[in-house]
Structure 1
Amino acid sequence: MSAIIWITEGTWPACVDAARRRAEDTDLVLLHVTDDAVSEAAHGAFAGLLGRGHRERDPGTRLEDLSRDAADRLFAEAERRLGRPARRLALHGRPEQQVVRAAEGADLLVCARDGDRTHLGPRSLGPATRFVIDHAPCPVLLVWPDAAPGLGSLPPPPPPPPHRPEP
């Protein structure tokens, strides 16, 4: 059995804790996806406006280095918290697409709510996580990164339909 733990800034501890508690005899994979859109935009802006002939000053390269360092630190912290061996899987691209692809063949995908954490409901999922949940090719364990909001945060039920007199 294999479980993929999708680690992202801000929500990874809850994912690691959930996997540690529920997947004791499972091969674990720590998955981090770097969205390259920001560094690509910086490369393009620099090349188009400023950088002809000065590649060493390209801010996109610096952003790539910072992203790689941040991912390495996140992997190391997640491994420490997990307290057991796990394989690292570092991918690049649109996170939602890469996570769904990585989950192919897995027995479980662990991810966290990343939207509005103050209310129960669909807005507690960001767009990428919503996509992953809707398209995952395996079971998904969805966790709250903090304590779940109380039932008082549920929206009220919809009003009853208007009464229509019989003809």
Structure 2
Amino acid sequence: MSVIVWITEGTWPACVDAALTRVSGHEEVVLLYVRDEAVAEVAHGAFTGLLGRGHPWGHGPAEGWGRDPGTRVEHLAAASAGELLQAAADRLGRPCTLMERAGRVEREVVTAAQGANLLVCARDGDPTRPGPHSLGPATRFVVDHAPCPVLLIWPTEPPSTTPTRRSPGRGR
């Protein structure tokens, strides 16, 4: 069985650190990064919509990848994902598996977590508010649908949970 660490651009150091403190030496660690295919699809669509279809421009490396910015976005995203996964592996400092997936982020994370012992992920919403607003939509979906236990961490210092005093005359 394995521990999946969901790596994202803004929160990966905290997730890796949490895994380091909570994972035993014999457990397999999988660093997971999911590329959102919708970004490249938007660039493809914009190019097609603005300039029409059926142009003879090339779409392979020999042709310089054509003029479609969606293709360039796909290649840049793949390169960035590889660099991010390698940085996370270096920070982890122990043997691990690097897993890169592409698709709807929340669904790919849930699918990758099938059979895992634990999924480590970070809050990615409003960092000043505890509760549901501290989760972005994809993370909320993952927390609600994960097929394994989830370790949900704050990527920075958590906000204060000291109750605030209500003003007189306000409803309860």
Both proteins in one fold, TM over 0.5: yes
Determine the C-alpha separation between the residues in 1 that align with 2:99 and 2:40.
20
**Contact residue 119 and residue 153 of structure 1 kept, 8 A:** no
Counterpart selection for 1:103 from 78, 99, 113? 113
Q: Which residue of structure 2 lines up, in the alignment, with residue 146 of structure 1?
A: 156
Q: Which residue of structure 1 lines up, in the alignment, with residue 36 of structure 2?
A: 35
Paired letter, 1:68: A
CA RMSD of aligned residues (A): 1.9
Q: Percent identical across equivalent pairs?
A: 58
Deviation of 1:155 (Å)? 9.6
Q: Which residue of structure 2 lines up, in the alignment, with residue 14 of structure 1?
A: 14
What are the ranges of 5 or more consecutive residues in structure 2 without an aligned counterpart?
59-65
Determine the C-alpha separation between the residues in 1 that align with 2:165 and 2:6.
29
What are the ranges of 5 or more consecutive residues in structure 1 without an aligned counterpart?
161-167
Determine the C-alpha separation between the residues in 2 that align with 1:121 and 1:114.
12
Matches within 5 A, 1:63-142: 63-142=73-152
CA deviations 1:84-131 (Å, max 9, x no partner) are: 111011000000000000000000000000000012111000000000
Paired letter, 2:153: V
- Give the TM-score normalised by structure 1: 0.89
SS at match of 2:13: helix
CA deviations 1:14-37 (Å, max 9, x no partner) are: 110000110022100000000011
The range that moved more, 21-30 or 104-113, is 21-30
Determine the C-alpha separation between the residues in 1 that align with 2:78 and 2:14.
22
Total equivalences in the alignment: 159
Q: Which residue of structure 1 lines up, in the alignment, with residue 70 of structure 2?
A: 60
**Contact residue 121 and residue 154 of structure 1 kept, 8 A:** no
- Give the TM-score normalised by structure 2: 0.86
Determine the C-alpha separation between the residues in 1 that align with 2:165 and 2:155.
21
Is 1:44 matched up with 2:45?
A: yes
Deviation of 1:40 (Å)? 1.2
